[in-house]
Amino acid sequence: MHIYNNRLIHHLSAFPDVEVHVVTVGEGTDGTGEGNLHLHTFRKGLLAYLDPLLAFRVRQAVARIDPDVVHAFSTGFFYSTVAASLRSAYPTVLTAYGIYAKEGEYYRSEEKKPSLPIRSIIDITNERWVVRVIPHIVVDSPTISDLVRTWTDSSIHVVPAGIEYAAVREMLRAQENSTEEPDIFLVNNLQRIKGMDILIRAIPAVRQAIPDVTVWIGGSGPQREELAALVESLGLESNVTFLGFVPEEEKYRCYQACKLVVVPSRWDCQPAALFEAAASGKPVIASDTSNPGIVQDGVTGCIFRSGDTAGLAERIIRLLSDADLRERMGRAAQENAGCYDWGVVAAKYLEIYRDAVTSFEGRRRSGS
């Protein structure tokens, strides 16, 4: 299950007056769950999600549950499609935590699966339809809100993704001080959409001012060899280190050790690094397409125009050259990080559900 869904469902089911029924397709055991959480699992047939009987069975399950609200995650085909088909019977909410029409241009260039173009067409077409007809759309950034607003008259709610703030703070308190302290740390999938090459291309300019600048890059992905070749071609082998997969505890050890975090994405709806860095008390330099609403420019970090390597280099130099500024920004970021705790996010979703129920009842009374 997607981490976003998993954490939100966990925190919603923790409210004593909320029952959560998860209707999903997969390999789990039907009827499992604990407390207020109930899991209803269906297995895919030969036609997978294109099987009309699968959609029928899912709709039947929803009818048996008879929920107060139907909530679908992702604008991709199937779950959102079924939710849209139920919008006349139940208050309906859709979380659009990824925009296929925008992200597909990057993923299509990296995926080699023959079925990908067909799947992309289905997902993009479905995305436009479900966003238009489902009455309540949740997005995690003002950037996504502005885009989606051009497609629909539905109510749009901006709710950023969350972090297990208390658990992260406890993990950080338990960390031992690292003997190595990189200047810059970031961890993400090594894909073109994440913009690691943008950071690497900014480092030669940074090195003119700070010759021994160090960058640690964690993660794996299809761009790994290309990025390594770029580092070599720019002569940055002594400055840039690829860490590969970074376990959770080691990741926070790196956050604690570094001076700042860079999120250079070409497009990223919910980069976890923004929340992880903030909880770790580190300033972030983020592109203006990396959910920039999380970073308060000049207060908790800096924003640069996506793809602008000169602008990124200038901001890196400024922060690495000013320890007091980094300390102030990191402290402000950490004070703000609690606002994105998953418990807070879940409470915001409850308000959206209440809004969805109220507007649904209003439409029924008016006959619209």
- Judging by DSSP bridges, how do beta strands 301-304 and 284-287 pair with one another? parallel
Check whether 110 has a pLDDT greater than 60.
Answer: no
Check whether 9 has a pLDDT greater than 90.
Answer: yes
The SS3 of residue 268 is coil
Check whether 187 has a pLDDT greater than 80.
Answer: yes
Check whether 156 has a pLDDT greater than 50.
Answer: yes
pLDDT band with cut points at 50, 70 and 90 for residue 366: confident
Same fold, 3-162+342-366 and 165-339: yes
Give the residue-averaged pLDDT of 278-288: 95
pLDDT band with cut points at 50, 70 and 90 for residue 224: very high
Instruction: Report pLDDT for 267.
Output: 87
- Judging by DSSP bridges, how do beta strands 155-158 and 136-139 pair with one another? parallel
The percent of residues above 90 in pLDDT, for the chain, comes to: 69
Give the residue-averaged pLDDT of 33-58: 83
Instruction: Report pLDDT for 178.
Output: 66
Pick among 3.40.50.2000, 2.70.50.60, 3.40.50.970, 3.90.1170.50: CATH of 3-162+342-366 = 3.40.50.2000
Check whether 195 has a pLDDT greater than 90.
Answer: yes
Instruction: Report pLDDT for 368.
Output: 64
| Segment holding 243, helix H or strand E | strand 240-244
Domain positions in the chain are 3-162+342-366, 165-339
116-130, 183-197, 255-269: range with lowest mean pLDDT? 116-130
Residue 133 to residue 11: CA distance in whole angstroms: 28
- Cα 201 from chain centroid (whole Å): 25
178-182, 186-190, 318-322: range with lowest mean pLDDT? 178-182
Q: What superfamily does domain 165-339 belong to in CATH?
A: Glycogen Phosphorylase B; (3.40.50.2000)
Instruction: Report pLDDT for 117.
Output: 65
Instruction: Report pLDDT for 18.
Output: 95
Residue 254 to residue 184: CA distance in whole angstroms: 9
Comparing CA positions, the residue from 251, 253, 254, 265 lying closest to residue 295 is: 265
Instruction: Report pLDDT for 116.
Output: 57
Write the CB contacts of 261 (distance below 8 Å, at least 6 apart in sequence): 184, 185, 186, 255, 273, 276, 277, 282, 283, 284, 285
Check whether 14 has a pLDDT greater than 50.
Answer: yes
Residue 167 dihedral angles phi and psi, to the nearest 5°: -65, -40
Write the CB contacts of 148 (distance below 8 Å, at least 6 apart in sequence): 96, 99, 131, 137, 139, 156
pLDDT band with cut points at 50, 70 and 90 for residue 3: confident
pLDDT tens sequence across 85-99: 999 999 999 999 878
pLDDT tens sequence across 158-186: 999 889 998 888 888 877 666 678 999 99
